[in-house]
Amino acid sequence: MARSAIINVMVQAAVKAGRSLARDFGEVQNLQVSLKGPGDYVSQADRRAEEIVHTELARARPGYAFLMEESGALDGDDNQHRWIVDPLDGTTNFLHGIPLFAVSIALERQGQLVAGLVYNPAMDELYTAERGGGAFMNDRRLRVAGRSKLTDCVIGTGIPHLGRGHHGNALIELRNVMGESSGIRRMGAAALDLAYVAAGRLDGFWEHGLSPWDMAAGALMIREAGGFVTDFDGGADFLDTGSIVAGNETIHRILSKQLKKTLPAR
């Protein structure tokens, strides 16, 4: 598969950061870990990966703005473009030796997502997407799963935990979906969850309380793989609201309906 120049830039940055993460993952017990908040750890590995991604992207596209998990928003001379970066999605998995973590990079142009990448260096799985160009995993074209009954589906989600606030309807939402689906998965890395929806590994996904860097790349992948991504109200403001529902057209509609049964109303 011939990649565009912008995807090549993103791949180079992600793979270089991924090599650093892979080395640190092999010595995870030796990492010096600081406590950023209850249940929210940030490690040397996380900071190193972000620095690598920032350096590589800034060198290739000088002037583009950044929104990064650790460093926050960085303005650029080019206000039409913004990189959205999570250098290590799934930090808790990483620190516990669970190989479900990823580098996530997305590019916005004039407020529209135009390119996305999710890379899991532990499994050497590289997911890429470009607006209008489709979604791929290691150069294999991706399509969302085609199941049309929730009873046949495996659905991904996130569950509130220490340090991530409290979504009071989470157990009700779980009950509503568990009782109608083939299974629920909570894997601890939203960027990977969304990539798995694009790849057809998960039939759908929902979560509250996410940040833009958790969702941007994966959301574009799902759309480019033929799926649907919205916020909980059916709109396109998930990067702002932090709540997301995804799946193929049918499962997205059914899943949204199940979630809206939640009482009391949000």
Annotated binding site: 69, 86, 88-89, 214
Q: Contact, 210 vs 241, CB < 8 A?
A: no
Rounded CA gap, 213 and 84, in Å?
A: 6
Tell me the CA distances in angstroms from 111 to 127, 237, 239, 240, one per residue in order. 22, 11, 11, 12
Binding positions for Mg(2+) are 69, 86, 88-89, 214
Q: Contact, 202 vs 246, CB < 8 A?
A: no
Task: Please report, to the nearest 10 degrees, the dihedral formed by the alpha carbons of residues 69, 130, 159, 185 taken in order.
Answer: -140
DSSP-assigned beta bridge partners for residue 32: none
